[in-house]
Amino acid sequence: MPVDVTAASTAAPAGALRTSRILIIAGSDSGGGAGIQADIRTVTMLGGHAMTAITALTAQNTLGVQAVHAIPAAMVVEQMRSCLHDIGADAVKIGMIGSAETVHAVADVLEPLGQAGVPIVFDPVMIATSGSVLADPETIGAFARLMRVATLITPNAPELAALTGRAVETASDAMVAGRDLARETGAAVLAKGGHLTLGAAEQARSREADARDLVADHLILPDGTDRVWTDPRIESQHTHGTGCTLASAVAEGLGRGLTLAHAIARARCFVRVALREAPGLGAGHGPMGHQRVRLDCDIGGATPNHVTLPADDHAASISFYRALGLTMIVESAGRYARFESVGGTTLSVEAVDEIGDRPVIFVEVADLDRAVASARAQGIAVADPRAEPWGWREARLTDPAGNKLCLYVAGEERRFPPWRLV
């Protein structure tokens, strides 16, 4: 019986604080690092409402998967229908499926949703971070149907190689295979580079001092156009659930109306901060720190999350804010220090010649150029955006009372600059 997509395709109320409705179809991870558990945490931290259709129960921890119990396809579909008929969905995320039968049953439900314009993100899970196999050849063969209904497919290098039959050993290989997959399926492909190194040509093109330690994620659209995001590799053993988290974060962004590129950029920031905040649990590939991603990713509007205060006694200011319980994360030349709070806000003190100088309130925005243009259209005088040497882009202004403000973009650099104190 086809699904009534009326509720599913009705958008949630518009606005920066809208709650996106994300239906997640995936397996349960008893260790809480990946799967449904990671998906729910990701969607919740980004401001969405997570609904689930569990495809499999697993007994797993940071060392591996000890057992898998597949949920019957009919029960998976009933979970989906229960959510869609009542609550509806603004986007769908697909992870571990479990069996070829379930693939086809899920596709039966999702095809009308895709036709109704609901974004669908498919993470073709085949192998867990620990190396455990989570999809047999028959199930992988059935993925073609889900890929044709997807808005975005998010394979890592081994998955991309399995789906295309190509060797994927460098970022250039991933681009070629990604183009093949996008052309074949009609879906956009985000070829993730976590398993790869940049080739010699890519390293030569990079502006980074040591391009060997960069990770490149390539978005390839069905028409062959592409975009790349490149960032320094975060060395960590605790990477369990990175793929699940990224796909769910993209789905949440698409569900709230972000463009595909914006949703991916925001999702990558979420994953990177969660990697940096990993709590170090377990003896193997541990979970990331989803719960510690605070005010680091755009959730739909301008966010005041940083203050810079003038100081005439640097050492006294450091002692004062440490005594209040803030953690110093940057100290520079005895004139500047930055602190972070448990809640994720940051505060800086900066030496001035005269203490009469005013504090600066920093308001982070998703798109600085657009925010500046919007302010100017409202008659607000804003300085031109500048790229600062500490990694932020800033545009300064004052309010009607003369208080100093700064619109800016920093992402992970706000709490995790390369010179962050250990």
Two structure tokens written together for 238: 């605790």
- 348 with 275, same domain: the answer is no
- 128 with 33, same domain: the answer is yes
Mean pLDDT over 223-232 rounds to 93
Confidence of residue 277 (pLDDT cuts 50, 70, 90): very high
Residue 358: per-residue pLDDT: 86
**For residue 335, what are the CA distances in angstroms to 195, 208, 213, 318, 325?**
41, 28, 32, 10, 21
Average pLDDT over all residues of the chain:
90
Which string of DSSP letters, residue by residue, matches 26-72?
EEEETTSSSHHHHHHHHHHHTT-EEEEEEEEEEEEETTEEEEEEEPP
- 81 with 137, same domain: the answer is yes
Residue 378, in any domain of the structure: yes
The pLDDT of residue 198 is above 80: no
pLDDT digits (tens, 9 = 90+) for 310-359: 998 999 999 999 999 999 999 998 999 999 999 999 999 999 876 667 89
Residue 273's CATH number: 3.40.1190.20
Residue 48, in any domain of the structure: yes
- 281 with 321, same domain: the answer is no
Active-site residues: which are they?
192, 239, 241-244
Query: Cβ distance 3 to 113 under 8 Å?
Result: yes
Q: What angle do CA 400, 403, 407 make, to 5 degrees?
A: 95
Residue 223, in any domain of the structure: no
Residue 150, in any domain of the structure: yes
Strand partners, 113: none
- 361 with 256, same domain: the answer is no
Residue 298: per-residue pLDDT: 80
- 244 with 341, same domain: the answer is no
The packing angle between helices 242-255 and 35-45, to 10°, is 40
Range of the structural domain that residue 409 is part of: 303-413
Between CA 78 and CA 99 the distance in angstroms is 16
pLDDT digits (tens, 9 = 90+) for 109-165: 999 999 999 999 999 988 655 555 566 778 788 899 999 999 999 999 999 998 999
Strand partners, 312: none
Rg (alpha carbons) of the chain, rounded to whole number: 23
Residue 299: per-residue pLDDT: 72
- 29 with 138, same domain: the answer is yes
Residue 91, in any domain of the structure: yes
- 378 with 309, same domain: the answer is yes
Which string of DSSP letters, residue by residue, matches 281-327?
-SSSSPBP-GGG--S-S--SS-EEEEEEEEES-HHHHHHHHHHTTPE
Mean pLDDT over 11-20 rounds to 60
**Who's near 274: CB < 8 A, 6+ residues apart?**
245, 288, 289, 290, 292, 293
- 248 with 367, same domain: the answer is no
- 128 with 82, same domain: the answer is yes
- 50 with 115, same domain: the answer is yes
The pLDDT of residue 392 is above 90: yes
**Lowest-pLDDT range, 97-111, 136-150, 189-203?**
189-203
Residue 340, in any domain of the structure: yes
Between CA 94 and CA 329 the distance in angstroms is 38
Mean pLDDT over 179-205 rounds to 82
The pLDDT of residue 409 is above 60: yes
Mean pLDDT over 155-180 rounds to 91
Residue 176, in any domain of the structure: no
Residue 386's CATH number: 3.10.180.10
Pick the last residue of a domain from 268, 292, 316.
292
Pick the last residue of a domain from 243, 260, 292.
292
Beta strands in 170-293 (DSSP E): 188-191, 214-220, 226-232
Count the domains in the chain.
Answer: 2
Beta strand 346-351 with 303-311 is parallel
The pLDDT of residue 212 is above 90: no
- 92 with 125, same domain: the answer is yes
Residue 342, in any domain of the structure: yes
Residue 284 burial (CB count, 10 A): 16
Residue 347 burial (CB count, 10 A): 19
Pick the last residue of a domain from 292, 321, 343.
292
Query: Cβ distance 249 to 270 under 8 Å?
Result: yes
